Amino acid sequence: MISLHHVSKTFATPDGPLRAVHNASLQIDAGDIYGIIGFSGAGKSTLLRTINLLERPDPNPAARIEVDGRDLLALAPAELLRARRSIGFVFQNFHLLNNRTVADNIAFPLEIAGVPKAARAARVAEVLEIVGLTDKIRAYPAKLSGGQRQRVAIARALANHPKVLLCDEPTSSVDPQMTSNLLAFLVQLNQRFGLTIVLVTHEMNAVNAVCNRVAVMEAGQVVEKFSLREPFHEPLSNLGKLLLRDRAVGATLLHDFTPNI
């Protein structure tokens, strides 16, 4: 479903070039919940943002970013815009429009896509039902809890019927109980709609709770990739060792919890 090959990203800073991602390659299969984990500054969010070209990688003839069989780097602007509609993005800090209602926030990507008003309203109602917020349709973001705002952000990401959902630290702005709720909700979205989910986080318990595969990043590089379903895997990185050491703790995070969607 997603293939990244030789992806690098360098930012210009007052102190000189900063290589945030260096020669990263990933293979994410359809239906995966794939974790990208690393400490702050490891480059994981930058790498995630290259998947839908929110961050365009450094020029490199060998670089490819393929989603659902198409190399996004080779697409013309209009084709890229259409391809992005199949890729939902959930931001760390919600990125909701405070002067628009919940319904209008969710409808925003549909407006951009030129979806007629009646169809927009119908889809807004559908995704609000999915995230369990039908009673908040006319509310404004300021009146919602952090968990509710994140569910609105997820509903907006689902509006265009995506095949892929990219999640950038989706639990960092909510309390521990809501963390469990949101993670369980992502699992149900994966199972119910076959969504391929890429989850960037620094929370090892979250990865252990929901992901089937993981990539570990350090200093802009993918230093290790492995399946969390392999009971005898011997991790190479220190973070990989910590991740597997805490596997039992992560497994209890969603125990006996079923969100109401």
Is there a domain that residue 138 lies in?
Answer: no
Domain that holds residue 35: 1-86+164-170+195-261
Q: What is the pLDDT along the chain (261 residues), one digit of tens a residue?
A: 999 999 999 999 999 999 999 999 999 999 999 999 998 889 999 999 999 999 999 999 999 999 999 999 999 999 999 999 999 999 888 889 999 999 999 999 999 999 999 999 999 999 999 999 999 999 999 999 888 998 999 999 999 999 999 999 988 877 777 788 888 889 999 999 999 999 999 888 889 889 999 999 999 999 999 998 887 788 888 888 888 876 655 555 555 444 444
Is there a domain that residue 7 lies in?
Answer: yes
Say how many domains are in the chain.
1
Is the dihedral angle over the CA atoms 167, 160, 193, 118 positive or is it negative? Answer: positive
Is there a domain that residue 12 lies in?
Answer: yes
Residue 218 CA to residue 237 CA, distance in Å, equals 9
pTM above threshold 0.85: yes
Crossing angle for the helix pair 146-158 and 176-193, nearest 10 degrees?
20
Is there a domain that residue 64 lies in?
Answer: yes
Is there a domain that residue 177 lies in?
Answer: no
Give how far the C-alpha of residue 11 lies from the chain's centroid of Cα atoms, to the nearest Å: 22
CATH number of 80's domain: 3.40.50.300
Is there a domain that residue 137 lies in?
Answer: no
The pair of structure tokens assigned to 213 is 């595969």
DSSP the chain: -EEEEEEEEEEEETTEEEEEEEEEEEEE-TT-EEEEE-STTSSHHHHHHHHTTSSPPPP-TT-EEEETTEEGGGS-HHHHHHHHTTEEEE-TT----TTS-HHHHHHHHHHHTT--HHHHHHHHHHHHHHHT-GGGTT--GGGS-HHHHHHHHHHHHHTT--SEEEEESTTTTS-HHHHHHHHHHHHHHHHHH--EEEEEES-HHHHHHH-SEEEEEETTEEEEEEETT-TT----SHHHHHHHHTHHHHHTTTTT-----
The pair of structure tokens assigned to 254 is 């969603």
Is there a domain that residue 179 lies in?
Answer: no
Q: Measuring CA to CA, which residue among 17, 44, 33 is closest to residue 192?
A: 33
Is there a domain that residue 49 lies in?
Answer: yes
